[in-house]
Structure formats: C-alpha cells, structure tokens
Structure 1
C-alpha cells in the first residue's frame, strides 16, 4: 500500500471525484455533457468520447489536489492514457490525486428489498491490473431500497467478503451499500445498515483497512461511529440523485463526512463550452463540494 496515498485519504481536506460511469450509464453521462447518441455509431466511439470528457475534466486547472484528494475511475479509463501516462499515474504524479477503480459489474435483480452486485468473475484479474497501474483502492456498489434486515445483511456480507479479497491484494476497498434516497424507510434502512457494517468492522484484523461510501443520512451524523472506527480510513458520501445544492446542504450537516459526488460535480459541464467557461464551471462545482466536505 502506498503510505503517502493512505495518509492523504485518511487526513486530507477535500473530496473524491467519482468519474466512474460505466457502460450502462455512459450514454446518459455523455448526453448531460451535450454529446447526443447520434454523434457516435458504436461502443468504441462512445468510450472514446467519454474518455475525452474525463480527460478534459482531469486536465483542467480546477481539478486540483488542493480540493480533490481522490478520483474513482471506470476500468476503461484506468487502461487508457492521459498525456502519455496511464490515467492513474497521471492523477497521482501530475495532479497529486489518489486513484481508485470501480470493480463491480452492476446490480442483480431486486430481492428482499435490495440489489446485490452481479458476480465479479474477473475480480482477481482486475486487482492484478489495478496494482500494475498503481491504483490505491477500489469501489463497488449495491443498493438498499427497503428496511429488510435479511436483505441488508446479504448486501453487507457480500461487500465485506469481496472487500477482504481486495485487502488481501494490497488495495483499499470502498464499500458502497447505497440507500435509495426515495425509500420510504430510508432512516430505518440506515440504522440497520450501520449496525451490520459495525459488526463486520469489529471482526476485521487490526491492519485491515476499508473506506465506506454511503448515502447522506436522514439523521445528521448517523455514521459518526463508523467514521471514528479504527479500521475505517474515511467515510465518503454519494449524492444519490440529490441536486448539487441539496446534496451539499445535507452533507454540511454531517461532521467529517466528505463527498464522493459524480453528477453533482459534472452536471453543468458542456462539450461546447470554451476551455475558460468549462474550467470556471468546474471550479465553481469543485469549490462548493469542497466547502461542504470540510465541515
């Protein structure tokens, strides 16, 4: 494990940029950016365009380690280059930003009020390549929709089972059991989730470290106990579909919880903006998320 990156993730002021939309969500991300589906004719062209978008974001002056301490990448982004370097190396060396890799393959069908992750049959290969590309950690997402104890237990069990493999490969897993912001039982889901996570954390070895990526809780500071747990490097929040301003306001109510936003970071960027306009818009988004993250 890279000790400098570990210190930055544990103690750095700032937030994690989530730049990891994958196959299914790429057309939506591009459309939001002003690139419509008639502008590419196959998947290869689509991924070229999304890499252009991510390159523009990452190389912009506003994308800076003063406020952004980490970035989560899609697998294709990890394997591509920015200015002649693999993306992870460019982030770490040129920007001082710690690189992470999204490793999940999307969600299984809903059962027991939750969506587990689909099997990750190539996890060992992904972790090997992540180490070769100097990636610090990983991220994987499941979703909780109902306060179903059995379902929530299965989500957390699956996350930590895979998390242990990731730790054994020398990487730090970001465990992301998202609670759906539209769940009528959101607060109850969060209580059950906290309890399940806590019991798993208490069973980790002293040198096993994880990060958690959680929906901003209904009750402020619900996750204080997890944030302070000795095995937790950092707890970060997803925006979960909240608009940027609302996500930032909710985040501010939670001490020591930092952002790992995707849409809230990029929602106002457009392919047709000049470089100055693009950087100004990005700078404003970065600043607002940073301010919400340092409370």
Structure 2
C-alpha cells in the first residue's frame, strides 16, 4: 500500500465516523422531547442502541471476510472501521509487571502481514519492524504492520540510530511506532538526543548494546537512561563466533543500578529464552522462528509466550 492509498483510507475512515456521529446526534435531538416509558429505554436511547447494534453486526461480517494470511480490504475492521486518532485510546506502553515476547519481522511485508495474522492477539507480544524490513520498505513497514495488527498492538521500529536521532525518531513516531532503537556504540550525544526525542514524541526508547562489552559503562555516561536496555548477540556473531555469549549476568547488574527494563536478543532456542527469563529479563526477542510463515507459527508463538512469563 502506497502513501496515497493510506491517505485515501484515512479520509474514508474520517467520513465514516463523521456520519456515525452525525446520525447519533441527529437521532438524539429528534427524540429528545419524547416521553420515556416506565421500565423501557427512551426512543432516542433505543435508536442509539439499534445503530450501535447494526454497526457491530456490520463490523463482525467484515471481520469474518478477512482470511488468515490475507490482506485486509479497505472495508475491514482493521482499516475502514479503525478508530480515528481523536477517538483512539492512548498508545500502549510497556509495564515492568509483565514479561514480553518480541517478534522480530525481517523478511518481506507480505511475510510480516501473514505472520501477524497468525499470532495470538496478546498484549504480551511486541511486534518489531526489523532492521532489514525498515531498510527495504522504510516507514511503510511500520504503517503496514500497524494496519495488519490487532487493536492496541505495540510496534518497535528497529532503526538502530547512530546519528540524526531527532529526525529519525520523529519519522517513525509519525508512522505509528511505539518504540525505537538506538545503538549503544553511537556517540553519547546521539544517545542522549535519541532518548530525549523519544520522550518528546511519546515513544519508548530502547538502546541496543550489541558489540558493547559492558552496558553499565554506557548508561553511566547518559543524561537520562532509556526505557529499555537490550543485551544483544548479533546474527553474524552467533554464526561465526561461537564463543560469543549473551551476557545474561548483566541483567541483574543493570536492574540493580537503574529502574529500567532489560531485553535479550540473540537467543532463539527455548533453553536460551528460559535462561533469559530466569535471569529476570523483561523482554525476549525472537526472529528465526518467525522469519517465514509456517503452519507452526501460532503454536511457536504460544510456546514462547508460555516460557516468557
């Protein structure tokens, strides 16, 4: 879907909700002087109930038309009947009371949509627009994932900022991301600007400590700490440097010094997920099992969720 199509859909959404609100107000005004029968709702209330019922039935019909792995049509509940910004609930935020599974989507937009449709609609699942996806599709990856996802889905833009932090954060925020990433090897000035920009635009800030030996050294240099610190063993490190291990021991060190969340990336096997949770990680990132859609996608997601708790 291109930006012009997105704009068209937004116009249609606004028109639909404008008509709905107009009909409700018109109905209430028309019936405001009619008496209310004892024990029965007023005619205006009944009209409102009937209208909402018809809308709910229409949405249910359209939702049934969306097949798993298919792209929602313009009239689907996740697009046409999506709540406009003025009526939308506040964006989702992470909570230290929960443990999360972060599903990194790195293949194509088609694969990303198909996988999202198969995932359980859980508030403990974080959707990540992975770096390869962002490099290929730009911010359209965020918009497409948001359109395909369930209401209130939390989306991370894995942009790995190393410079021009304010501009990059502003762009992904406008596209609908709930969080963004910055590399811990970036200049301290960039990380500080990144964290400040995330707070300004209402995003959670995540600092990726890939290729950083000691995350605490980086954190101590910052004006303010990020919302999430990611301890990350890269894909190439995993494949070509077997002695490179995920620094699980740093989780407690970081959480003992700062009131922040810690994410673990680079361990896709169940035993590594278990070890991360055992060491008090808040978020576990998985990508390998979710690179391509398979008949086991939903089952795998539920298995990971079971371990991440």
TM-score, normalised relative to structure 2: 0.54
Query: Which of 8, 12, 16 is residue 98 of structure 2 equivalent to?
Result: 12
Structure 1 distance, partners of 2:226, 2:246, is 26
Aligned: 1:58 with 2:116: yes
- Tell me the SS of whatever aligns to 2:160: coil
- Tell me the SS of whatever aligns to 1:260: strand
Query: Equivalences for 1:118-267 in 2 at 5 Å?
Result: 120-121=163-164, 123-141=165-183, 155=186, 157=188, 160-167=191-198, 169-170=200-201, 171-179=203-211, 189=213, 193-200=214-221, 203-204=223-224, 209-215=226-232, 220-227=248-255, 232=260, 234-239=261-266, 242-263=267-288, 265-266=289-290
Q: Per-residue CA shift, 1:11-53, capped at 9, x if unaligned? A: 334322122x3xxxxxxx5xxxxxxxxxxxxxxxxxxxx1100
- Tell me the SS of whatever aligns to 2:103: strand
Structure 1 distance, partners of 2:271, 2:153, is 26
Structure 2 distance, partners of 1:9, 1:16, is 14
State the Cα distance separating 1:89 from its structure 2 match.
5.0
Structure 2 distance, partners of 1:101, 1:250, is 26
Structure 1 distance, partners of 2:253, 2:285, is 19
Q: Per-residue CA shift, 1:56-106, capped at 9, x if unaligned? A: 01122x34225414434543264158xxx7433543xx243211212237x
State the Cα distance separating 1:125 from its structure 2 match.
3.8
Structure 2 distance, partners of 1:56, 1:77, is 19
Q: Per-residue CA shift, 1:144-195, capped at 9, x if unaligned? A: xxxxxxxxxx557366334334335422221001249xxxxxxxx3xxx133
Structure 2 distance, partners of 1:266, 1:237, is 16
| Residue ranges of structure 1 left out of the alignment (5+ in a row) | 22-28, 30-49, 106-116, 143-153, 181-188, 271-277
Tell me, yes or no, if the aligned pair for 1:258 and 1:292 is still in contact at 8 Å: no
Structure 2 distance, partners of 1:288, 1:17, is 13
Indicate how the Cα distance of structure 1 residues 255 and 141 shifts in structure 2: closer, same or farther if over 3 A, else same: same
State the Cα distance separating 1:129 from its structure 2 match.
2.6
Structure 1 distance, partners of 2:190, 2:284, is 20
Higher relative contact order (CA 8 A, sep 6+): 1
Counting matched residue pairs gives: 205
Larger CA Rg, structure 1 vs 2: 2
Tell me, yes or no, if the aligned pair for 2:103 and 2:286 is still in contact at 8 Å: yes
Aligned: 1:282 with 2:307: no
State the Cα distance separating 1:247 from its structure 2 match.
2.6
Structure 2 distance, partners of 1:156, 1:251, is 28
Aligned: 1:79 with 2:140: yes
Structure 2 distance, partners of 1:254, 1:4, is 29
Structure 2 distance, partners of 1:293, 1:227, is 18
